Amino acid sequence: MKIGILGTGIVGATLGSKLVQLGHEVKMGSRTANNEDAMKWAKSNGAKASNGTFSDAAAFGDIVFNCTAGVVSLAALKLAGSGNLKGKVLVDVANPLDFSKGMPPTLTVCNTDSIGEQIQRTFPNVKVVKALNTMNCKVMVNPSLIPGDHNLFVAGNDAQAKAQVRDLLESFGWKEGAIIDLGDITASRGTEMFFPLWLRLYGLFPNQNFNLRIAK
Amino acid sequence: MKIGILGTGIVGATLGSKLVQLGHEVKMGSRTANNEDAMKWAKSNGAKASNGTFSDAAAFGDIVFNCTAGVVSLAALKLAGSGNLKGKVLVDVANPLDFSKGMPPTLTVCNTDSIGEQIQRTFPNVKVVKALNTMNCKVMVNPSLIPGDHNLFVAGNDAQAKAQVRDLLESFGWKEGAIIDLGDITASRGTEMFFPLWLRLYGLFPNQNFNLRIAK
């Protein structure tokens, strides 16, 4: 499959590398075509990895991952272009973190809205699936880092898009039963608002290799 | 121990009954001394159960539980009286849910503040310990309702108060290792902001007998 990754940070790079390892062709997009991090990433990930602008990556991908910082996601997606994204599945991994007021970060949007919903409203022709934003990126692509069962959430308005994302997540190693479908895109509020608790937990633990399990 | 319960809803009644079963003397407080639910609760829980006003319950308890709805907690605690609460441990179980705009409820405070913090700021001489607000009340008092390991969070500024609350929680059946101390009272933001995710999960499951486990 051809996959576009928007964002050149650790989340985009980790997801992009995993997707290349799984045999996909991946183009990492950024604001400029010659972003250093994106060029380095493409160079070190072989022939199936490339880079370009947000627009290039969005046009390239059959599926597109939003791995930009939540605070700039809408701007990045506008640069990616609604025409390039039209009809496609957009996996939104972002959390709307605001570091401008110091630590801990607050959320730029929450409670009555979410970045997942904002993206879906701004791009009504895109099939937004919120996923993976409740854990560190190493866990996203390698759930076996954590022993035993633990969970991953997906949310979105389009059932077929969610099924496609689930297949991709299962190829990462997530068990079918570990993926919890929370319903429509408004459930993004719940997964984004989990971040403050995640951050407190991270403060207690030696590393980010932890995740939620819903015990019942 | 003598324990005051503020609030006559299902959470207060469930916690109160458990505490009576464990041998404590419990006074349930409400806005009026003759609240019907509180009188019924006291009558059905034997000689160690009584009821009165918020002020009566706060004066009675060596430890006090805030089981009022988060949206009225500060008002209830003012009626309870800072003099009656002074120096005591207040276990804050509230979530600041606003049902006035329909379902799902939103939070009246979040992101940069929390009801736990508001209570601590309003009553600086009270030792506020946020706890138990991430699960249904049946699970609070009977963790074995859910098989396997799962977790409970405490947060507060006073280490001794948290230790006292942990002891009480262990008497409910919580294992020592299941109780995660998130740090100071600002961690209330995290546990209160978990509510939207909890609510979505509840929508998927047949009942409220589920809880978080932190897998690591």
Quick one: pLDDT band at residue A205, thresholds 50, 70, 90? Answer: very high
CB < 8 Å to A211, chain B: 214-216
Average pLDDT over residues A194-198: 98
Could you read off the pLDDT of B8-29 as tens digits, one per residue? 999 999 999 999 999 999 999 9
> Residue B210's closest chain A neighbor by CA?
A216
Contact A216 B112 (CB under 8 A): no
Mean pLDDT of A29-52: 98
Q: Which residues of chain B have pLDDT under 50?
A: none
- Dist CA B167 CA B99 (whole Å): 34
Quote the pLDDT of residue A36. Answer: 98
* pLDDT recorded at residue B124: 98
Chain A residues in contact with B206 by the CB 8 A cut-off are none
Q: How many percent of chain A have pLDDT more than 70?
A: 100
CB-based contacts of A44: which residues, under 8 Å, 6+ apart?
none
Partner-chain contact B215 A111, CB within 8 Å: no
Average pLDDT over residues A85-99: 98
Give the number of A-B residue pairs with CB atoms closer than 8 Å: 105
Chain B positions in Cβ-Cβ contact with residue A197 (cut-off 8 Å): 153, 182, 190-191, 193-194
Q: Tell me which chain A residue has its CA closest to the CA of residue B197.
A: A190
Class of domain B2-204: alpha beta
From B98, which residue of chain A is nearest by alpha-carbon distance? A111
Confidence of residue A95 (pLDDT cuts 50, 70, 90): very high
User: What residue segments make up the domains of chain A, in order of their start?
Assistant: 2-204
Residue of A nearest to B200 (CA): A182
Task: Read off the pLDDT band of A116 (50, 70, 90).
Answer: very high
pLDDT for position A185: 98
State the nearest Cα–Cα gap between B205 and chain A, in angstroms: 9
**Global confidence as pTM:** 0.97
Prediction ipTM score:
0.97
Q: Which of B187, B191, B216 has its CB closest to that of A209?
A: B216
Question: Residues 184-213, chain A: which have Cβ within 8 Å of B?
Answer: 187, 189-191, 193-194, 196-201, 203-205, 209-213
